[in-house]
Chain A
Amino acid sequence: MSSDVMAIQTAEGAAGRPWVQTLHEWVTTVDHKRLGILYILYALLFLALAGAEAMIMRIQLMYPRNGFVSPQVFNRIFTMHGTTMVFFVGIPVLFGFANYLVPLMIGARDMAFPRLNAFSFWLTAFGGFLLYFSFLGGSGLYGAGSAPDVGWWAYAPLTSRAFSPGHSSDYWTIALLVAGFGSIGTAINIIATILSMRCPGMKLSRMPLFAWLNLVVSGMVLIAITPLSAAQIMLCVDRYLGGHFFDTQAGGSATLWMHFFWIFGHPEVYILIIPAFAVLSEVIPVFSRKPMFGYPVMVGATIAIGFISMSVWAHHMFSIGMSSYGNTFFVLTTMAIAVPTGIKIFNWIGTMWGGRIILKTPMLFCIGFLFNFLIAGLTGIMLGSAAFNWQLTGSYFVVAHFHYTLSGSFLFGIFAAFYYWYPKITGRMLGERLGKLHFWLFFIGFHVCFDLMHIPGVLGMPRRIYTYESGRGWDTLNLLVSIGAFIQGIATLIFVANLIFSYFKGAKAGNDPWDAWTLEWSVSSPPPPYNFAVIPTVASRRPLWDLKHPEDPDSRYE
């Protein structure tokens, strides 16, 4: 029997307990809320590490032929930056919010499998620590400790023993393999919870969009992570058990790795962005004072995105020499996925239309998301057009594109989530003035950095280079890009300061600071360990709207 159930924690009661006991409770917790917080804190730690790696790269690239770091170090840094951001920032933070919010939103007391939940978190956490241990333990042939330097896609045959002696790329392989199993565990948990633990009256068609979209994401995780795990096991077989799957010197196939990786890799980027869509689908209605425009279409479009995303993977491989028929097929599927994605953007604008838009920080980040994601989608269309892709891929144009989707969209959605749900999780509001400062500084820094970054790309600058020649028109642009990166770094520090300061000094939030409509706002902030004293019964998509507006309930119109 967990001590969480026995004692209702109050701030006064907790102060008297030894810190070892608190630590023990957190390490052994199976409470979805605490695991959610652990995931989020873990992601913030790795965001700081990966952000520092980004700053190192941008300092090196400020000037042509710069000598801030050696090529060996730079190549490890870009590999670790990408790997960390995708696997140890993106996935943990989205599972963190899903873990915390999904049971609350569907009127449940916890996830379906609390111990699996904890196990999955610790697998993911271990993966991250193992990856970073490589800086100390991953010695290559020449003796120095080293992190993997094969890029976050770890293309074969660069990862074969011939070209990656020592153990550095093994750290990449094993860390991600283990973390992948953690993701699969959480995905199973979310699906089981949503399908079997919704409160009475909450048909699937009355479930908050946040829960729906996390259901789709979890399904995608189950399908997409397994090819990567399989490929990683095959790589281990190649490196240690005499296999030759990807060993081109023995007749193996480099393109086989590419197919395996990208069949994971493309759905993965949708796995990252759909939770940001989920945040927008909760925040925009509340801050426009209107229900989501076109709820069934939003669900359908997300399911469509989930399916189509499984069919586009080779648009990452347009330059590898596939036949014109192969290339053309992937152009078609890639363009097709733009349709449901565009529909979602239109529906969010439709939600704002005719509303009463409250321009507080969560909403500012949502509006920033819409602007940035529109541009990201359009440069995505350019990249999806294979012929145009032959000039754009492998260059800084595509680096700018995917940072638009990740820094400019995913991260904006996560920031919106922080500002919206921090009051629920901690009981205090994040500072609004600091929040607006964070938003504007980050927005400006983001655009200085990533708008300009498109230009060296079209002027011929490839990616993953530790230095470049002067006189190609890239010099000043790279300097400005680096300045934009530094500005984003400062903005993020302001955000972290806000998180810490508000924890101690923020205004008390109460149950429902935003006048919102989903079930998590019906309990205290923070919620009690058991979430709901009485499991609620709902009659519509917005149960709290019905309670606040008994003369005009949603249940009359749905």
Chain B
Amino acid sequence: MSMTNQHKTEWRAVAARVAGVLVLLVGVLLVAGLCMATPVDNPVPSIFDPHSTPAESIRQHSYFVLAITGLIFLVVVTLLAYAVIKFRDKPLTAGREPAQVYGSTQIELAWTIVPVMIVLVLFLATARVIHAIEDARKPATAVEVTAIGHQFWWEFRYPALGIVTANELHVPVSDPAHPTPTFLELLSADTDHSFWVPQLAGKTDLIPNRVNHTWIDPHQTGVYLGQCAQYCGTQHAKMLLRVSVDTPEEFDAWVRAQKQPANQDDKEIAGRRVFETTACLNCHAIGGTNGTGRFGPDLTHLMSRSTIASGAAENTTENLRLWIQNPDAIKPGSLMPAMKLSDEDLDALVRYLETLR
């Protein structure tokens, strides 16, 4: 017996209401999640919210793949549901065996040929995007960065500009009319890592004894979040990434500041002495001091970064102090040792570090 028109209208109203409630619920959950964010321009690193050419190409391609797979899903689920409902055992047919059908060559051919064609189309579409991204030529205007993965932080070097920094990458925004993409060479000092900033590009691994390459071409200024995407040891989870896409002026200003020698403010000579006479300088480099260590991040312009410990904590006085005295409180299992300084030395050292703009 089919549903009366009144039943149908009722069902439609109920369905609409349910759909509305669901949308509202998802929206509330998402906004609630966002409200808890620290103020960052792009708090949700979604692959469907790209702001850079390679990530945009991937999203475009993904829509095509999703459309095809979505269609396949609908067709097969409909067939499955229909079969289960239509051919389920009912009291009328109980005990009688249905027609014993062994197969059908035509049907087998049909559902072989169609999938083969779908596979061919998907393959060709994918091949095109792979080539566009992987084999992109580096233009002369590109900014060159060498990224070296460490357990559990990122070293960034700009060889042409003579800059060394850590964990927070600055790149200029790229105008589609006059592109200034950033091309990264990816190396590793120890184990495998992976550079993943979803809104800027797909991920590429950093593998020791191997040189990999990736590039980003960001079209919108702002800070983008990412993190290491290949398990690299105890603190893989807190090997975070921040990419600051700057206006050309902001980028030039940043470069100039990074190229400055370290601040030699004699007011904090006590703190500098602590740095130079303890094990700090074995791992860390600060321009103009004896510290030339490369095991840990370069601290010459430490205060130009908004976070420390590769994004694990905000760059504040309390956190700096805590990180030096008890790194396990912030990032247990990181390779920063607890320095066991006296309070006096520790305060002097932190005051000195805070002059390193």
List B contacts of A335 (CB < 8 A).
119, 122-123
Q: Contacts A324-B130, A328-B127 given: A459-B36 contact, CB under 8 Å?
A: no
List B contacts of A460 (CB < 8 A).
44-47, 196, 198, 225-227
Complex interface: stretch among A107-115, A196-204, A350-358: A350-358
A468 beta carbon closer than 8 Å to chain B: yes
B190 beta carbon closer than 8 Å to chain A: yes
Q: Contacts A294-B103, A295-B103 given: A339-B119 contact, CB under 8 Å?
A: yes
State whether A472 touches B43 (Cβ < 8 A). yes
- Determine the residue in chain B with the shortest Cβ distance to A296: B103
State whether B33 touches A374 (Cβ < 8 A). no
List A contacts of B315 (CB < 8 A).
none
Cross-interface CB contact of A395 among B79, B229, B231, cutoff 8 Å: B229
A37 beta carbon closer than 8 Å to chain B: no
Chain B nearest CB from A327 CB (Å) reads: 5
State whether A378 touches B72 (Cβ < 8 A). yes
A399 beta carbon closer than 8 Å to chain B: no
A500 beta carbon closer than 8 Å to chain B: no
Chain B nearest CB from A300 CB (Å) reads: 10
Tell me the bound Cα distance from A346 to B226 in angstroms: 41
Bin chain A's interface residue count: 35 or more
Complex interface: stretch among A90-98, A122-130, A247-255, A443-451: A247-255
Chain A nearest CB from B127 CB (Å) reads: 5
Complex interface: stretch among B205-213, B274-282, B296-304: B205-213
- Determine the residue in chain A with the shortest Cβ distance to B121: A335
B231-246 vs A: 1/0 string, CB under 8 Å?
Answer: 1111111101000000
State whether B111 touches A343 (Cβ < 8 A). yes
State whether B209 touches A253 (Cβ < 8 A). yes
A349 beta carbon closer than 8 Å to chain B: yes
Cross-interface CB contact of A155 among B123, B226, B231, cutoff 8 Å: B231
Tell me the bound Cα distance from A386 to B127 in angstroms: 8
Complex interface: stretch among A205-213, A226-234, A284-292: A284-292
State whether B237 touches A71 (Cβ < 8 A). yes
B269 beta carbon closer than 8 Å to chain A: no
Interface centre among B194, B204, B205 (most CB of A within 10 A): B205
Q: Contacts A157-B191, A343-B111, A460-B225 given: A388-B45 contact, CB under 8 Å?
A: no
Tell me the bound Cα distance from A538 to B180 in angstroms: 75
State whether B88 touches A359 (Cβ < 8 A). yes
Chain B nearest CB from A141 CB (Å) reads: 13
Tell me the bound Cα distance from A91 to B133 in angstroms: 40
* CB-CB contacts below 8 Å: B183-224 with A: 186, 190-192, 194, 196, 198, 201-205, 207-210, 212-213
A54-88 vs B: 1/0 string, CB under 8 Å?
Answer: 00000000000000001110010000000000000
List A contacts of B116 (CB < 8 A).
339
List A contacts of B33 (CB < 8 A).
471-476
- Determine the residue in chain B with the shortest Cβ distance to A460: B45
Complex interface: stretch among A172-180, A274-282, A315-323, A501-509: A315-323
A394 beta carbon closer than 8 Å to chain B: yes
State whether A357 touches B122 (Cβ < 8 A). no
List B contacts of A297 (CB < 8 A).
103, 108
List B contacts of A375 (CB < 8 A).
73
B341 beta carbon closer than 8 Å to chain A: no
A385 beta carbon closer than 8 Å to chain B: yes
State whether B123 touches A332 (Cβ < 8 A). yes
Bin chain B's interface residue count: 35 or more
List A contacts of B103 (CB < 8 A).
293-297, 350
* CB-CB contacts below 8 Å: A377-428 with B: 378-379, 381-382, 385-395
List A contacts of B332 (CB < 8 A).
70-72
State whether A343 touches B115 (Cβ < 8 A). yes
Chain B nearest CB from A306 CB (Å) reads: 17
B305 beta carbon closer than 8 Å to chain A: no
Tell me the bound Cα distance from A108 to B76 in angstroms: 39
A432 beta carbon closer than 8 Å to chain B: no
B230 beta carbon closer than 8 Å to chain A: yes
List A contacts of B88 (CB < 8 A).
356-357, 359
Tell me the bound Cα distance from A191 to B55 in angstroms: 48
List B contacts of A475 (CB < 8 A).
33, 36
B292 beta carbon closer than 8 Å to chain A: no
List A contacts of B79 (CB < 8 A).
349
B333 beta carbon closer than 8 Å to chain A: yes
State whether B65 touches A382 (Cβ < 8 A). yes
Tell me the bound Cα distance from A22 to B89 in angstroms: 44
B140 beta carbon closer than 8 Å to chain A: no
Cross-interface CB contact of A158 among B96, B133, B232, cutoff 8 Å: B232
- Determine the residue in chain B with the shortest Cβ distance to A157: B191
State whether A342 touches B47 (Cβ < 8 A). no
Interface centre among B38, B96, B99, B227 (most CB of A within 10 A): B227
B134 beta carbon closer than 8 Å to chain A: yes
Cross-interface CB contact of A339 among B69, B112, B202, B208, cutoff 8 Å: B112
A171 beta carbon closer than 8 Å to chain B: no
State whether A459 touches B77 (Cβ < 8 A). no
Q: Contacts A356-B87, A378-B73, A472-B45 given: A390-B191 contact, CB under 8 Å?
A: no
Chain B nearest CB from A337 CB (Å) reads: 9
Q: Contacts A388-B62, A393-B203 given: A356-B93 contact, CB under 8 Å?
A: yes
* CB-CB contacts below 8 Å: B61-78 with A: 61-62, 65-66, 69, 72-73, 76-77
Tell me the bound Cα distance from A320 to B230 in angstroms: 10
Chain B nearest CB from A190 CB (Å) reads: 27
Cross-interface CB contact of A394 among B58, B119, B196, cutoff 8 Å: B196
- Determine the residue in chain A with the shortest Cβ distance to B107: A350
State whether B102 touches A470 (Cβ < 8 A). no
List B contacts of A558 (CB < 8 A).
102
Interface centre among A255, A353, A467 (most CB of B within 10 A): A353
List A contacts of B46 (CB < 8 A).
458-460, 473
State whether B237 touches A293 (Cβ < 8 A). no
Given contacts A350-B104, A476-B33, 11 further A-B pairs with CB under 8 A are: A72-B333, A319-B202, A331-B123, A356-B97, A356-B98, A374-B76, A385-B65, A395-B229, A466-B237, A468-B237, A473-B46
Q: Give 26 CB contacts A-B under 8 Å.
A: A155-B230, A324-B131, A327-B130, A332-B123, A335-B119, A345-B76, A350-B103, A354-B99, A356-B98, A358-B89, A374-B77, A375-B73, A390-B204, A392-B47, A393-B203, A394-B194, A460-B44, A460-B227, A464-B231, A464-B236, A470-B36, A472-B37, A472-B43, A472-B44, A473-B43, A549-B97
Q: Which 4 A-B pairs have the closest CB atoms?
A: A390-B202, A471-B37, A460-B45, A465-B237
